[in-house]
Amino acid sequence: MARNRDPFASALRTLRERAIAGVFSPGKPIIILDEAQSLGLSTTPVREALAWLGGEGLIDRAPAGGYAGLRLDPVGLAGRYRLRLHCLEKGLEGTAPGIGAAPRADPTRLFRHIIAGAADPALMAVYDRVQATIERFAETEARLLGDMPEALEAVARLMDGGQEAAAAEKLRDFHGRRISAAPLLTEAEQAQAGAG
């Protein structure tokens, strides 16, 4: 078996993917030894990667030491939706003409398209950071709110027609529903974590 030349980078990449996907249950301890064994690494690069992810806000520092899955309460989730909306509005304002057709139905691709259109690395960095903390709610949003394909299609259609102001209004509606539903979304996540 080939030796991993950069165990920290490997641990960071895999653990970041798990955190974004919501693999770590909110508030539940992340057992460093278990993660190290599952990755085939020693505990040192795993501990370093978890510290890095804690700094990025993708996991929480546990009260008794160590790390835990990121727990978002309704206020925290609503705040992140507001920040994502702000980034998307700024992205629409700065979108260069002729950026090309907007992707349909997939929020990750559509939102990335909007942010990329502004060609602003700082905006992209803020967007990526907030999106990473709420991406795990997308499936629950789709299930509980049921508006995703139609709402995103409307935004993309307006963008394709050069109607950025109207697209921004649709994005405000889209995010407004999520902000209002933040208590329901966090409750659904807690229930799923409790069942798992």
pLDDT in tens, 125-146: 999 999 999 999 999 999 999 8
Among 29, 45, 69, the domain-final residue is 69
- Are residues 84 and 177 both part of a single domain? yes
Looking at the structure, do residues 93 and 63 belong to the same domain, yes or no?
no
Contact 82, 175 (CB under 8 A): yes
Domain hosting 30: range is 7-69
State yes or no: pLDDT of 158 exceeds 60.
yes
pLDDT at 162 over 90: no
Are residues 117 and 182 both part of a single domain?
yes
Residues in the chain: 196
Q: What is the pTM of this model?
A: 0.87
In a domain? residue 29:
yes
Indicate the residue among 69, 96, 117 that finishes a domain. Answer: 69
Average of per-residue pLDDT values in the chain: 90
HSE-CB for 119 with a 13 A CA cutoff: 4
pLDDT at 73: 96
| Spatial strand order in the sheet of 29-30 | 29-30, 67-69, 59-61
Co-location of 65 and 78 in the same domain:
no
pLDDT at residue 1, rounded to an integer: 41
Mean pLDDT of 112-137: 93
